[in-house]
Amino acid sequence: MYIPPHFAELDRAVLHDLIEKHPLGILITHGKGGLDANHIPFELDRSKGDAGTLHCHVARKNPVWQELADGDEVLVVFRAAEAYISPNWYPSKHEFHKQVPTWNYVVAHVHGRISVHDDERYVRRNVAKLTHKHEAAQPVPWKMGDAPKDFIDTMAKAIVALEIEITTLAGKTKLSQNKEVRDIRGAGEALINGGENGVGQAMLEAAAQKS
């Protein structure tokens, strides 16, 4: 990923937060069948490995787990907010007319080494942790014990777990930081007024940091 210095996010904790808040990642692999991309929810273990470890699972019928060998390098892309930016939102455009449209976004790219765990105990633990995390906000959180045992047994046998040891973590926070503070703020306010609070609020924070 091309990352100009003014868009680089170097804080590992910030990138870990992004992954945890936006856990649906794109797993990109290059196996026997060529390039492949799968959209998968991940669970991050910050404490395992130098930069953390990702856990997920895929359907047994998905060929991705059979086309990879333990230790193969993979890429996982996590995307937070994104939004189109109109030149009209920059105050300087109305003075000098030297602005063009762009697209702002916040992403994290994870490179890592993958391991396949075709082990029911590992799979159940993986699913239980992921479910516990995402059910926590529900009035009555669902748990695996809520379903019949034979049903859960069948479902557990139908999936395979994957583990990715993170080797490189790169972040890009493109929020018009290369513009004047008034332009960053103007575009951020326009986004918020249009309901795009994610990038809009991030741009206001970027403007405050630059001013």
> What secondary structure does DSSP assign to 39-92, as a single string?
EEE-EEETTSSSS-EEEEEEETT-GGGTS--TT-EEEEEEEEEEEEE-GGG-TT
Does residue 27 have a pLDDT over 90?
A: yes
Mean residue pLDDT of the chain comes to: 96
pLDDT surpassing 90 at residue 177: yes
**CA-based Rg of the chain, rounded to a whole angstrom?**
21
**Under CATH, domain 5-83+104-178 is a member of which superfamily?**
Electron Transport, Fmn-binding Protein; Chain A (2.30.110.10)
pLDDT bucket at 211, cuts 50 / 70 / 90 = confident
DSSP assignment letter at 23: -
Chain segment 101-157, per-residue pLDDT in tens: 999 999 999 999 999 999 999 999 999 999 999 999 999 999 999 999 999 999 999
Query: What confidence tens digit (pLDDT) does each residue in 92-114 have?
Result: 989 988 899 999 999 999 999 99
* Mode of pairing for the β-strands spanning 8-9 and 102-117: unpaired
Instruction: Supply the pLDDT for residue 163.
Output: 98
